[in-house]
Amino acid sequence: MKRTLEPELMDDLDQALAYEGADFETENRGFVDRFREHFPEFTEGHILDLGCGPGDIPVRFARALPACRITAVDASGPMMKLAGEAVKQAGLADRIILCCERFQDISLAEPVDAVVSNSLLHHVPNPLQFWYRLRQLVKRASPVLVMDLLRPDSQEAAQAIVQHYAAQEPEILRRDFFCSLLASFTEDEVAAQLAEMNLSRLVIDVVDDRHWVVSGIIH
């Protein structure tokens, strides 16, 4: 099945609220745990989270790594508003900076010590832009962890995944999940992107029936 693009930003308030209310506990906790397993020596420094959505992942990173500060980027106004509330409620406003901008346009005072990103790449029309920018924004010899959806073979297979994992979620979230699966990349496509961007030291791993993870130290 060919890739079908979906809108880049999740800037509809109902959409953002449905995403915030959905149960991503397993995915988000697993994402942070995976970072700590892959990079156990990384305990302090500046982490950049690209496409942070409603802020659950930066809050989890800030709690798990108390000596780190995090810059969390998302260009959706409604998502940033929710992220601001989550950060404030967690009492972490001193360590999490929110930046409402497209990752293509952000400028940082200096490169960061690690980059993480969950479920952003499938929103991006040109994925090479993402890998190019990622490399620009991080210091050399720094950890990178990127996770996203894996495109199924057919619309029927995508529908089956939505039914299996999101049967209880509101219709708007089920619709977005379906469209995201259709907009996501295959393992071979991501491997080709990494090769094209000279990032072959990053390794892709398919971790379950609907996710791939790219990780490694960037050089």
Ligand X SMILES: C[S@@+](CC[C@H](N)C(=O)[O-])C[C@H]1O[C@@H](n2cnc3c(N)ncnc32)[C@H](O)[C@@H]1O
Secondary structure in 3-state letters for 201-218: CCEEEECCCCEEEEEEEE
162 vs 55, 152, 204, CA distance in Å? 23, 11, 23
Contact indicator for 181, 158 with CB cutoff of 8 Å: yes
**Residue 197 CB, nearest approach to ligand X (Å):** 17
Q: Rank residues 48 and 218 by Cβ distance to ligand X and give the closer one.
A: 48
**Residue 149 CB, nearest approach to ligand X (Å):** 9
Q: Rank residues 136 and 200 by Cβ distance to ligand X and give the closer one.
A: 136
**Residue 8 CB, nearest approach to ligand X (Å):** 4
**Residue 196 CB, nearest approach to ligand X (Å):** 19
Written as one string, the DSSP assignment of 145-211 is: EEEEEB--SSHHHHHHHHHHHHTTS-HHHHHHHHHHHHHSB-HHHHHHHHHHTT-TTSEEEE-SSSE
**Structure tokens belonging to residue 158:** 């995508």
Q: Rank residues 128 and 219 by Cβ distance to ligand X and give the closer one.
A: 128
Q: Rank residues 31 and 39 by Cβ distance to ligand X and give the closer one.
A: 31
Rounded distance between C-alpha atoms, residue 196 and residue 107, angstroms:
24
Give the binding site for ligand X (CB under 6 A).
8-10, 24, 51-53, 56-57, 73-76, 79, 102-104, 118-120, 123-124
Q: Rank residues 182 and 201 by Cβ distance to ligand X and give the closer one.
A: 182
| Helical pair 171-183 and 13-21, crossing angle rounded to 10 deg | 90
Rounded distance between C-alpha atoms, residue 152 and residue 3, angstroms:
10
- Euclidean distance between the first and the last CA atom of the chain, given in angstroms as a whole number: 34
Q: Can you say whether residue 51 is alpha, beta or left, with left for phi > 0 and alpha for psi between -120 and 50 degrees?
A: left
Q: Rank residues 201 and 207 by Cβ distance to ligand X and give the closer one.
A: 207
**Residue 57 CB, nearest approach to ligand X (Å):** 5
**Residue 36 CB, nearest approach to ligand X (Å):** 17
